[in-house]
Amino acid sequence: MPRKPPPRPGKSRDTVERSVRRGTDIPNVGELAGTSLDKGTELDALAGLPAEFQGELIEQAKAGEKVSAGT
């Protein structure tokens, strides 16, 4: 199993791992800045969805629609 990077000063291991998971599980996560999916809870929920659902929600959010990856 690969070693996990040490947390940055002031950041807990959980915070760092959550950020890494968002970055690896959500394609082009940076494009979501300023959208309705630009919240930690939304990103965590989005990361848990299958890729086909992620893509659809991401496109809707980028188009300015208010969408949610939760329920």
pLDDT in tens, 31-58: 999 999 999 999 999 999 999 999 999 9
Asked whether 18 and 44 are in contact (CB, 8 A), the reply is yes
The larger pLDDT score, comparing residue 61 to residue 70, is at: 61
pLDDT at residue 71 is higher than 80: no
CA distance 57 to 52: 9
Q: What is the pLDDT of residue 1?
A: 65
What stretch of H or E contains 51? helix 51-62
pLDDT tens figures, 2-14: 787 765 578 888 9
Q: Which long-range contacts (CB under 8 A, 24 or more apart) does 41-45 make?
A: 41/70, 42/68, 42/69, 42/70, 43/69, 44/18, 45/69, 45/70
pTM of the model: 0.77
Asked whether 49 and 57 are in contact (CB, 8 A), the reply is yes
